[in-house]
Structure 1
Amino acid sequence: MSKVVLITGGSSGIGKCMGEFLTGRGYRVYGTSRNPDKVSGSVFPLLKMDVRDKATVEEAVNSIITIESRLDVLINNAGVGITGPLEEIPDDELLNNFETNVFGPMRVIKSVLPHMREQKDGLIINITSIAGYMGLPYRGVYSASKGALELITETLSMEVKGFGIRAVNVAPGDFATNIAAGRYHAPLKEVSPYRETYGKALKMMDEHVEAGSDPEQMARAVYAIINSKSPKIHYRVGAFAQKFSIVLKRTLPDKVYERLLMNHYKL
């Protein structure tokens, strides 16, 4: 029987690539979008869902259960980027980031768990970020939201293992997608004390995304996880230097690692 997969945020970027890859290998994939009517050419069905809205989450999950009578894999991929000096990011943008990147995935998880528990089987894959392993200058809010999701997954793995459900994280580095175009970034203010350093960091972040890896790497990684009999809790996918930065953070003294980051971002 083909496994049924739900991918939140499946209309573009990594989510779309994963959906196309899994569909091509016989999976029954459902993606989500806040505005599916505006998306054309999707090779898999797109359901309306805003992870910030509990009603749309439950409606989309119930639709899949009505059609398929089961849900085997949830890939929590929907998320938003955010950059800026903490002092200058508006409170409503701080809240929106956590609503989308942290509370949103939790809403979807809570909606699918009763169905997975009933079928005594299921896999939850939370797409986090290598940025979630460290506090990065002008990306602190994003790092914090993805780091929170990493810890939630660790907890979830222990709580649901006894029901036959597995929970894993997949932390991507920089991939060549349209994420930079859709993120919120605090404006570069003429009078801002952060103008020069934030401007340089923002330019560097955009260049990293443009030169990022092929998102099919993420699709292949997720495909391997789905087919693993005993998946790990943490996976990192991306350039060697980005993955190695996690090792450096764990081994170097805090101030030495901080200086490496500051030099990298020219602070």
Structure 2
Amino acid sequence: MDRKVILITGGSSGIGKAIGTFLTSKGYKVYGTTRNPHNHPDFDAFELIQLDVKDVESIQRAVSEVVSKEGRLDVLINNAGKGITGPIEETPHEEILDVFDTNFHGPVHVMKAVLPQMRQQGGGAIINVTSIAGYMGLPFRGFYSATKGALGLITEALRMETKDFGISITNVAPGDFATNIAAGRYHAPVLQGSPYEDKYAQTVDSINDDVNSAGDPIKVAEAVYKIINQKRPKVHNPVGAFMQKFSLVLKNILPDKLYEKLLLNHYKL
């Protein structure tokens, strides 16, 4: 078979760009997506096409464009997403809806768009980029955790629904990596006089420090490459620093209140 054809949502920067660049170097035909390709006139790592995960018609157009050019679509990497922080009580509801549209509903729409093509061609792979944060409710990042956790659960369900179609469906869950996600993250304002004011401001500083000192996103690209080349990849594939991955082990073995105490201590709450 010819080299695999790969579609990466959110491919113009960050983890998506790292994945696309790495897979291109391995000989794959990569199409990345961005909401506005005209904003990236000098981008030459791989081909960029227009796709907005909140616009179902643009999703259909992008998938049709790839299939029309290549005759197939072998791998979807559902990477597009955005960050959000804020106290649950004080986060504007329109921002909650927006992050769910981007991080959850959008990836679901893209999966719906590629599944008929993969079923018709007799196979394919879908890799959903979730997050280690999706395995736990993090303080002042509850909505981000909820979107990524929901996408992880949908991955589990869809694997079982499509098990007879020859389509591999899995997820890769990054921890903190050095990307530009902080620049695009929505931060609910720190409200003067709010009961959350001091602790929320302190937590945002801690989150930003973690991103600034985070690892190289090439590690996520290497994990995706490994998944693509495995016959039976694991359902969940966390990628990150040792303690970030070990936190998932602790989550499974410790009593809930003890695990909660560890999180509170980590964020100094």
TM-score interval, smaller chain: over 0.9
> Which residue of the other structure, out of 77, 80, 87, is the alignment partner of 1:78?
80
Report if the CA contact (8 A) 1:127-1:169 is conserved: yes
SS in 2 for 1:2: coil
Aligned runs of 1:83-122 on 2, under 5 Å?
A: 83-122=85-124
SS in 2 for 1:52: coil
Once the 2 structures are TM-superposed, how far is the Cα of residue 41 of structure 1 from its aligned partner?
A: 2.2
Say whether 1:260 aligns with 2:259: no
Q: Render the CA deviation track for 1:109-137: whole Å, top value 9, x for unaligned.
A: 00000000001110000000000000000
Aligned to 1:16: 17
Aligned to 2:145: 143
Once the 2 structures are TM-superposed, how far is the Cα of residue 30 of structure 1 from its aligned partner?
A: 0.2
Measured in 2, the distance between the counterparts of 1:234 and 1:260 equals 23
Once the 2 structures are TM-superposed, how far is the Cα of residue 231 of structure 1 from its aligned partner?
A: 1.0
What are structure 2's unaligned runs of at least 5 residues? none
Q: Which runs of 4+ in 1 moved over 4 A?
A: none
Once the 2 structures are TM-superposed, how far is the Cα of residue 230 of structure 1 from its aligned partner?
A: 1.4
Greater Cα shift, 38-47 or 116-125: 38-47
Aligned to 1:26: 27
Once the 2 structures are TM-superposed, how far is the Cα of residue 42 of structure 1 from its aligned partner?
A: 2.8
Aligned runs of 1:1-267 on 2, under 5 Å?
A: 1-39=2-40, 40-267=42-269
Measured in 1, the distance between the counterparts of 2:227 and 2:77 equals 11
Once the 2 structures are TM-superposed, how far is the Cα of residue 23 of structure 1 from its aligned partner?
A: 0.6
RMSD (Å) for aligned C-alpha atoms: 0.7
Measured in 2, the distance between the counterparts of 1:216 and 1:43 equals 14
Measured in 2, the distance between the counterparts of 1:35 and 1:193 equals 40
Q: Render the CA deviation track for 1:18-52: whole Å, top value 9, x for unaligned.
A: 00001111100000000111112232111111101
Once the 2 structures are TM-superposed, how far is the Cα of residue 186 of structure 1 from its aligned partner?
A: 0.5
Once the 2 structures are TM-superposed, how far is the Cα of residue 188 of structure 1 from its aligned partner?
A: 1.1
Measured in 2, the distance between the counterparts of 1:25 and 1:168 equals 21
Greater Cα shift, 12-21 or 36-45: 36-45
TM-score (norm 2): 0.98
SS in 1 for 2:163: helix
Identity over aligned residues, as a percent? 61
Measured in 1, the distance between the counterparts of 2:36 and 2:195 equals 38
Q: Render the CA deviation track for 1:54-95: whole Å, top value 9, x for unaligned.
A: 000000000001000100000000000000100111010000
